[in-house]
Structure 1
Amino acid sequence: MESLPSYEQATTAPHWLQLVGPYVLTTDWRRCSRVNKLFYQQFAPRLWLDPLVTARHHGLHPNDDLAWYCRFVYVHLNSVRLMTREFVRSLDFRNFAVVASGLYSTDASERAISNSFKHLPTLFPRLVCLLVDGHPELNPESLAWVDVINTDRKTPNSLQLLDLANCPHHLNANFFRSAYLRDLVYLDISSLPGSISQTVKASLNPDHVPGLRVLKIRQRELDDSSARILLQRFGRQLWSLDLSNNKLTDATIDTLIRMSFSSLTLRSDAHFHIEGKLISPGRLGTIEYGPLEFLMESKESSTFVHPMRYFPDAPPYICGRSHQELQEWQTVRCSGAGPRRCDDIDSVKSHLLADLLGQQPVSTSSLTHDARSGQGGLTHLSISGNQITSAGVRRLLRCTLGRLEHFDCSVQHISSITSNAQSSLRISGLFGTSHLIRPVFSSNLRHLRVHHSLVTNIPTVNSRELSQRAAAVFAETVVREHAQIAYPQVFVPDTNPRLSSLTLTHIPTHSIGPLILALTNFLDLASSQQHAVEKVLASSTQRGSKVVRGLQYIRLELLSDEELPTALFDDDVDFDQLLDPASFTNDNLDETSGDAQAGLLAENAENQIGRETQVIGSPKMSETAGNSQSDIWQHSGDVFIVHRVEAPESWTGNVFTLKVWTGSEVTGMSPAVSKYTANVQDPKLRKNVGPAMPHHVAAGVPYGSYIFYTAWDEMIFPGGNAKPNLQPLLALHKDVAVAIKEYRAQTRGTDRYWKGKLELVRDKR
């Protein structure tokens, strides 16, 4: 329980019918409502709450939907009492009247359904939910011209949930000026034709929808300028925003940080021994990176083994009977053990209708009030399918001060500013980000949907010269070796035990081994986490003690497969721009047989996977780390330069200088240090200054130093002119879905079996 019940809730016992009502079959509601007045009060609202859904549960055939609706609206309702019609709170047209039948024509459907929208306040005076998602015929335009009739001054007679996603009809720019839509809490206008910017300027703004909290605008050709207008208008009013599949870039990330998130942090030093803490020497920062904060580890935070890591936070103490909730300035993160707040259409609809069945007053505050922190601003954000880079995502996670609870960003492009950028090679992934998922940064994060490279260290590669499966092999061998050098750490379940749901996207359908091994290793670690949580529960002396459950849901989204070509690589592939001779340790690689090359690549990749799972934290720096840059762990031969940050680039607008590490003069250092030392000689790569994070330190960077992130990120891009024969790798391909299913079958009944919910889905795009 995140908050204590009120006195009335704690002392009032519910009637037994309220307890058994949810368990009574839908088909029995009609008979139960005829027993007596008490039964009528309990079951009539359930029967009429969502009539289209109830009719389907009673056996209405899809071919008869339109005929039934005509009789229901134009005949049956004429003899129904107003009190009964007031029980109707939801009309869900999803999957209703979409099947062609004898009566189903454009004219008939518009006359029977679309025209009935004009009379909704009269037909159903207490309607709050209207869902027409994807209906091929319904035109919601008439909603803008309905007459609102207040039958009860205490109850707002207007919609609170409106789902118009995927409707084929254009909305007038003044659509949301209607008083019938003024109390909207949830709005989905995804995949509609027409420009969204004019609608935002004319009506979709706080002046006309002041109670809006959840807004979904997927696939609307939204660009940075239109998004800026939208975010400026709403400010911190929204707590959930879906901008997926648009044309947004990193510029929108900056606007989101500036306009849509609370400026009060949820990060705290109180959990230092468990999670580590952030230190900010001089409180400096840059616009490109964000605040320059180092991660200071305790003795156990870097390896995620603290015995208290599975215990939730204590509830906040509120002094004084007059204060029933936290004030705006009292920021407290969620405990981590309670249910996460969902923003999907079914969850919001169920929440609203459950309030109504509980005979509680209908109020937007039931959705907008955040009892855990009491702050405004976004907590749920979806930005998948845009042109946002991995650097932009990292900056967002640094600057949102732990506010995000739900984050969906499945594709992150890694940009290169060297000659590699002019080739056809395009790399997508999320590297060097696992530390940003930790509670010390992402204090409230409960649900994450992200590219699988966060766990596997294997990017997605696209190239005009390579087929989909060939590109997957190239990513799994050559590019992965570069990624492993630069980013030796990956995300593991105990990186953030408060995370309950993880979705990994863009997983190739076939693998030569390392991808499958990385995924199965992750499931093994999830099983270990589950056993650790069960052990904590078993050792708890208090009855009903709560713990942080860890990962409960893992979803693996596989890419749509293409037919395997006869040759893995075409003859005209330009390997000069794709492969780096440094990626292969065999000096006579070109003379090596094809089978030997294939075995070498696969073996090296799998060996790196094995080593990678052991390195899950950074070195312990708690004994010597301080609060100034003078506490750098310097090695012999380290080279530093003085870098000046001008006012336009500064986070605070002040000019300042930093000592930036540019590598080592000593030969024989780690591959990452050697590559970084070479990259930083290029003036174009001396950009994006930031503090060394755990994966940098693990790769050889002195703790407490600043580096050029652009030069470091450039390591992932291979170059050179090697042309190894990768054709034999075709025989090593394994189906990822089959391999995961085999792994689950083999581990079932053993200690390695993870008991959470695992889903394998294939992307049909």
Structure 2
Amino acid sequence: MEALPSYQEATTRPDWLPLVAPYLPPNEYPTLCQVNRQFWQVFAPRIWGNVFRTVRRAGLQSGDDLGWLVDFVFHQLPRTSPSSKALARVLDGREISKESFYFTPEHYTLRNQERSLSTCFQQALALLPDTSCLILDGHIDLDPSIVLPEIEKQNKLLLLSLANCPHPLPINLFLRSGTKHLVYLDASSIPGNIDPILQLNTLSNLRILKIRNHELLNSKLGVFIRHFRTQLWSLDISGNKISDDLVPSIIRACFNPDTLLSDAHFLTEGKPIFPGTACDSYGPFIYIRESEWSGSFSHPERYLVDAPVYRSSPELPLESPLRSDGQQAIRTDSLDGILREFSGQDPDLSDERIRTSTGITHLRLSNTLITALGVESFLRNSGGHLEDLACDNMQLIKLTSRQSELWPKGAKLYGILNAAHFVRPVFSSNLRVLRLHHSFVTQIPALEMEGVSAMNRLYIAETSILPRSEQLYPQAFVPDMNPRLTSLTLTHIPRRSSGPLIAKLVQFLKLLSVQERSIFDAKAASSSWRGSSGELKGLTHVRLEFDSDPMDEDFPAAQDFDAEALMNTGEQGFSFFPEDASKNQPSPPSRVDSQRNLGGTPCNLSQDKTIEARGEYLQHPLGQQHGADRTSLVPVWIAFEEPSRNTAIINDYRQLVLSSSHVRDIVALATPGQVMAGVPDQALIFQTAWCMAVMPKTLSAPPWTKLTEIKDVLEELKQFRRAGKAKHLSLQEQVTGENNVPPGEPHYFFTGHLEVSR
């Protein structure tokens, strides 16, 4: 509990000058500093805090950067008063143009080593002893081996950003006293070895580490994990060659072991149940016991923030860790956000919470080999501590060589279909920011396949794969699943669609407006008895990131299917599973029956272990980590023996399980979405076989006429937004007084922040 303000703090009126300072033009700051001591104390830190940014905002042209910098560092700065130099906090190389040139007399020339850009920064560090933030991002002329030696003497760096720097890390960089206080380090996309980060007895204060694009393997990154453990609260390992095998190590070493999961919010969110068993390839089993309202996300109090916890004395420790109340903003780990925290200019920001860590809360996993199952594992096993999670693109499932024989040759699916319930507050109570593949909402995985054009892949994904994913994973994410989530980014959205993708995105935008209306009504209903606002904000920021337009490529392309030929000859394109879908129980395989036609290339599965089974369960070794002997058998649901009792796609799941031992893998409890699909509640299933059933038995090429009818997704969304806004404005004109048109029906115009990137 925060300490109460002192009497003086409570009775003193706030100074007006700091309130108006952010709205004044930077080129007026020097003049304002000359008014009196009070003005100097307000505006001098704004000049010197980030002096490079100040001169840029004051009107310095990029072509004059280097000339100004040399004159400033070697002539003006030595004559500046110590009190002014002591205000400098940031040297930001991003503010120096990378394309400007400076031609001067010989004693000023930048070709001379004494006047190089690196030497300018080195001299600036020497003359500005209180500089705590140094940014050298992507500047070819800024060499850390020249700039950084000066920090040995007097600087205490808190932030060092070297992202995209073309020079390697100096070997002894982190042995210098000036770096031992580092809280933020970005060493992404730099050449050479980054092992200096792991030197013993260094970087004990580090809390934010970004090491993107180093092609680190599980073994190397595992060393980082064991070295830092719960010391870090933000970790960015995007662009490295890490896989699901590393996920358990990160969870065990880097996450706070004290879980936030509880049954305290059973009525609104449900209750987590731990059966006490686990599977090696999946982890501990857990399922949700739903209340009357939690499963439908319809409890009338679902938008209320958590009530405060009262203690007899603020000095008494909490009996268990507390989750966020849902209203407090999370910490930022962005470069500019950390700079604001360290600048000291905003009285509402304190760098103390940046220096505090009990384990990972911000995790970036984009462009790695981690699959959807790995992302689900992080959400399921984080204990509710994750606040910001990003994974742009992930394989739906990573197939072994034998498993891949059951799919078309070279076919891969990307997306995440079974994670919506793991984002619910019962699992992820502190989650506020999420960045995932668009299939998290649209249920349309991306198809990658050798020899198939982009347009054909998009069409097949919507018309052949989507119907199966909707049946196998019918529970997609909707805003009310987690009203505590405030920001969602959907990535890799195709620019073209035959219709289903457009319909999914439009429906999601409508649901955002519906959530706005529900929160609006909840505030109106509670204002009379709650006084101040105690409602959650809901999902107020949505970003849609589109892939490049496949129409910009050669179309039609040489690798496209010959659709006319396929229609005329009756061929089905790519096919596998030659058995009829209704054929549930395969007979002992002959050589012909044990083959699959994969893109026209038959493969021999005669060595596979095909079994016969009676009933809807198959006894299978669990391979537990704890709770029972590893060889104990458990009943795994494989669908009903009578085909008529199953849907066609669940018959496919049973057929897969019985026809190949290689897909009898990853035994786990059925998720709520899989229960909706027809799996008995709390039953175990083979998650690998279930996921593989998403791939259709045949993949047929669309006729050219269908491809020419494909629409521009972005244009369709613009039309929907324009129509909604026009209707909203029309209704607003009919409202009298100060009343506003409420969100939601009938206009469905989402008034939050909707951002599009392409």
Structure 2 length as normaliser, TM-score?
0.85
Instruction: Indicate conservation of the 8 Å contact 1:94/1:131, yes or no.
Output: yes
Instruction: Indicate conservation of the 8 Å contact 2:391/2:435, yes or no.
Output: yes
**Pair 1:760 & 2:756 matched:** yes
Distance 1:505 1:110 in 2: 47
Q: Tell which deviates more after alignment, 516-525 or 163-172.
A: 163-172
Instruction: Indicate conservation of the 8 Å contact 1:313/1:336, yes or no.
Output: yes
Instruction: Indicate conservation of the 8 Å contact 2:159/2:182, yes or no.
Output: yes
**Pair 1:349 & 2:339 matched:** yes
Which residue of the other structure, out of 703, 716, 721, is the alignment partner of 1:739? 716
1:116-131 equivalence runs, <5 A:
116-131=120-135
Q: Which residue of 2 aligns with 1:170?
A: 168
1:421-440 equivalence runs, <5 A:
421=407, 423-440=409-426
Q: Which residue of 1 aligns with 2:585?
A: none
Distance 2:114 2:243 in 1: 40
1:191-340 equivalence runs, <5 A:
191-196=189-194, 198-201=195-198, 203=199, 207-281=201-275, 283-323=276-316, 330-340=320-330
**Pair 1:692 & 2:633 matched:** no
Once the two structures are TM-superposed, the CA of residue 659 in structure 1 deviates from its matched residue by 2.5
Instruction: Indicate conservation of the 8 Å contact 1:509/1:558, yes or no.
Output: yes
Instruction: Indicate conservation of the 8 Å contact 2:406/2:576, yes or no.
Output: no
Distance 1:497 1:520 in 2: 19
Q: Tell which deviates more after alignment, 448-457 or 679-688.
A: 679-688
CA deviations 1:268-288 (Å, max 9, x no partner) are 10111101111122x111231
> Helix, strand or coil for the counterpart of 1:680?
helix
Q: Tell which deviates more after alignment, 8-17 or 395-404.
A: 8-17
CA gap 1:441/1:350 in 2 versus in 1, 3 angstroms: same
Instruction: Indicate conservation of the 8 Å contact 1:183/1:212, yes or no.
Output: yes
CA gap 1:657/1:174 in 2 versus in 1, 3 angstroms: farther
Q: Tell which deviates more after alignment, 290-299 or 18-27.
A: 18-27
Distance 1:288 1:433 in 2: 17
> Helix, strand or coil for the counterpart of 1:302?
helix
Q: Which residue of 1 aligns with 2:71?
A: 71
Instruction: Indicate conservation of the 8 Å contact 1:109/1:138, yes or no.
Output: no
Q: Which residue of 2 aligns with 1:660?
A: 636
Which letter maps to 2:752? G
> Helix, strand or coil for the counterpart of 1:135?
coil
Distance 1:651 1:347 in 2: 45
Instruction: Indicate conservation of the 8 Å contact 2:163/2:186, yes or no.
Output: yes
Which residue of the other structure, out of 718, 721, 729, is the alignment partner of 2:696? 718
Consecutive unaligned residues of structure 1, counting only runs of 5 or more, are 151-156, 370-374, 586-636
Once the two structures are TM-superposed, the CA of residue 693 in structure 1 deviates from its matched residue by 1.4
Instruction: Indicate conservation of the 8 Å contact 1:312/1:337, yes or no.
Output: yes
1:74-93 equivalence runs, <5 A:
74-93=74-93
**Pair 1:383 & 2:397 matched:** no
Which letter maps to 2:19? L
CA gap 1:200/1:286 in 2 versus in 1, 3 angstroms: farther
CA deviations 1:198-235 (Å, max 9, x no partner) are 3244x3x6x21111111111111211111101111001
Distance 1:26 1:544 in 2: 37
Q: Which residue of 1 aligns with 2:731?
A: none
> Helix, strand or coil for the counterpart of 1:448?
strand
Q: Which residue of 2 aligns with 1:510?
A: 496
Instruction: Indicate conservation of the 8 Å contact 2:168/2:193, yes or no.
Output: no
1:366-405 equivalence runs, <5 A:
366-369=353-356, 376-405=358-387
Q: Which residue of 2 aligns with 1:567?
A: 556
Once the two structures are TM-superposed, the CA of residue 148 in structure 1 deviates from its matched residue by 4.1
Q: Which residue of 1 aligns with 2:647?
A: 670
Once the two structures are TM-superposed, the CA of residue 565 in structure 1 deviates from its matched residue by 4.2
Instruction: Indicate conservation of the 8 Å contact 2:119/2:147, yes or no.
Output: no
CA gap 1:17/1:566 in 2 versus in 1, 3 angstroms: closer
Instruction: Indicate conservation of the 8 Å contact 1:185/1:364, yes or no.
Output: no
Q: Which residue of 2 aligns with 1:415?
A: 398
CA gap 1:287/1:394 in 2 versus in 1, 3 angstroms: same
CA deviations 1:439-491 (Å, max 9, x no partner) are 11111110000000010010111112111222111111111122122111110
**Pair 1:115 & 2:119 matched:** yes
1:608-647 equivalence runs, <5 A:
639-646=616-623
Distance 2:80 2:189 in 1: 37
CA gap 1:759/1:51 in 2 versus in 1, 3 angstroms: same
Consecutive unaligned residues of structure 2, counting only runs of 5 or more, are 583-613, 729-746
In percent, how many aligned pairs have the same letter? 35
CA deviations 1:176-210 (Å, max 9, x no partner) are 212111111111111101122x3244x3x6x2111
Once the two structures are TM-superposed, the CA of residue 316 in structure 1 deviates from its matched residue by 2.7
**Pair 1:96 & 2:96 matched:** yes
CA deviations 1:672-717 (Å, max 9, x no partner) are 4322222221322221111111111111111121111112111112
CA deviations 1:141-193 (Å, max 9, x no partner) are 2344225445xxxxxx4111111101111112322212111111111111101
Which letter maps to 2:196? T
Q: Tell which deviates more after alignment, 569-578 or 169-178.
A: 569-578
CA gap 1:4/1:713 in 2 versus in 1, 3 angstroms: farther
CA deviations 1:643-673 (Å, max 9, x no partner) are 33335x5589866543222211233222343
Once the two structures are TM-superposed, the CA of residue 421 in structure 1 deviates from its matched residue by 4.9
**Pair 1:709 & 2:680 matched:** no
Distance 1:247 1:462 in 2: 19
Q: Tell which deviates more after alignment, 60-69 or 571-580.
A: 571-580
Distance 1:716 1:557 in 2: 25
Q: Which residue of 2 aligns with 1:617?
A: none
Once the two structures are TM-superposed, the CA of residue 100 in structure 1 deviates from its matched residue by 2.5
CA deviations 1:377-407 (Å, max 9, x no partner) are 1000000001111111112211111111000
Q: Which residue of 2 aligns with 1:56?
A: 56
Q: How big is the alpha-carbon RMSD for the aligned residues of Structure 1 and Structure 2?
A: 2.6
Instruction: Indicate conservation of the 8 Å contact 1:486/1:712, yes or no.
Output: yes
CA gap 1:728/1:13 in 2 versus in 1, 3 angstroms: same
CA gap 1:465/1:346 in 2 versus in 1, 3 angstroms: same
Which letter maps to 1:550? G
